[in-house]
Amino acid sequence: MPVMSYIDAVTLALKEEMERDSKVFVLGEDVGVRGGVFRATVGLYEQFGEDRVLDTPLTESAIVGVAIGAAAYGLRPVAEMQFADFIMPAVNQIISEASKLRYRSNGNWECPLVIRAPYGGGVHGALYHSQSVEKIFTGVPGLKIVMPASPYDVKGLLKAAIRDNDPVLFFEHKRCYRAIKEEVPLEDYTVPIGKAAVKREGTDVTVISYGLTLHYSLEAAKSLEQEGIDVHVLDLRTLVPLDKEAILEATAKTGKVLIIHEDNKTGGFAGEVASVIAEEAFFELDAPIRRLCGPDVPAMPYSPILEKEFMLTPEKIATAIRELAEF
């Protein structure tokens, strides 16, 4: 089984699904000849031709709107937003159209669409190439929101997203693209949307996270071993639909929960996870639920000092876990 990077798993999933189903096509800015600014679609143009690997004009609303029309017709478009930060012009198409097409037509139309978007900071991307945008969409029923942390899950979840009959937002953390590698089978497999995964068993503190901060949490957990703090780590993998059962199980393991994400705290998804626990597992708790999130500032600045201050790190996470363990 080859070891591959997070972004190579994206490319492989797209290639396999395009080989499997002629209704799958990709569209976006620079996805064709260039193979994507991050090289996520590299080789696809050569293999499948310009009609199925479509270089669009620089128009995010059109990328999503055209994809919605093609999806309603019966194709399976995979639209790329070059950066999640640039999804904003397409938000009307996503929220007013894609999320509601099935519902507003009483089930007579559907929108089997995937929107891939690289998100997240720590890449010197400044305010408009670093944002986490999931909270804009997590409160919109009709959308599914997938945020894998590892190459194995990237391949399996992206394939599941392409085969799904509802619109899926597939957020890929840019910092993971080349930093995270693991063994990925070359065989066909999918990972079910809506299922979290326990990444580490522990008895003292439960960390619930996704994306880049999942890896930082695992690093922090390892460093706390020598202090005798045993950390349980749950990777949500999908935010919508949310695997509540896994959250409640992970809560019961330790009675102390820390929820971590890079998106900012106020209105962030950690609030939803905390609410689920407070409503359904209150008597399992031995300490207040804690959140460790990106700060409530508009976005991540360019200056390395300010970027570092914004970003979560294994050290910041270890400190938060330690405090909760000592509660």
Interacting residues toward another protein by CB under 8 A: 25, 51-52, 54, 56-57, 59, 61-62, 64-75, 77, 89, 92-93, 96-97, 100-110, 141-142, 144, 164-166, 241
Task: Read off the tokens for 301.
Answer: 């600045």
Residues sharing a CB contact under 8 Å with residue 114, sequence separation 6 or more, in sequence order: 76, 77, 78, 79, 158, 161, 162, 164, 167, 168, 170
Q: Which of 189, 190, 193 is nearest to 147 (CA)?
A: 193
* Nearer to another protein among residue 7 and residue 136 (C-beta): 136
| Neighbour tally for 182: CB within 10 Å | 15
Q: Which of 231, 245, 239 is nearest to 194 (CA)?
A: 239
Contact 74, 82 (CB under 8 A): no
Taking the complex as a whole, the smallest distance from the CB of residue 59 to another protein amounts, in Å, to 4
Q: How far apart are CA 117 and CA 100, in angstroms?
A: 20
Taking the complex as a whole, the smallest distance from the CB of residue 71 to another protein amounts, in Å, to 7
Q: Is 324 helix (H, G, I), strand (E, B) or coil?
A: helix
- Which amino acid is it at 322? R
Taking the complex as a whole, the smallest distance from the CB of residue 248 to another protein amounts, in Å, to 22
Residues sharing a CB contact under 8 Å with residue 139, sequence separation 6 or more, in sequence order: none
Q: Which of 129, 173, 215, 261 is catalytic?
A: 129
* Nearer to another protein among residue 85 and residue 164 (C-beta): 164
Task: Read off the tokens for 36.
Answer: 């994507």
* Nearer to another protein among residue 105 and residue 303 (C-beta): 105
Cα–Cα distance list, 97 to 51, 100, 126, 135, 213 (Å): 24, 5, 30, 18, 31
124: annotated active-site residue: no
Taking the complex as a whole, the smallest distance from the CB of residue 164 to another protein amounts, in Å, to 8
Taking the complex as a whole, the smallest distance from the CB of residue 22 to another protein amounts, in Å, to 8
Cα–Cα distance list, 193 to 86, 166, 225 (Å): 25, 11, 32
Q: How far apart are CA 322 and CA 134, in angstroms?
A: 28
Taking the complex as a whole, the smallest distance from the CB of residue 95 to another protein amounts, in Å, to 9
* Nearer to another protein among residue 55 and residue 323 (C-beta): 55
* Nearer to another protein among residue 28 and residue 151 (C-beta): 28
* Nearer to another protein among residue 108 and residue 226 (C-beta): 108
Taking the complex as a whole, the smallest distance from the CB of residue 241 to another protein amounts, in Å, to 8
* Nearer to another protein among residue 113 and residue 191 (C-beta): 113
What letter would DSSP give residue 249? H
Q: Which of 38, 49, 48, 53 is nearest to 7 (CA)?
A: 38
Residues belonging to the active site: 129
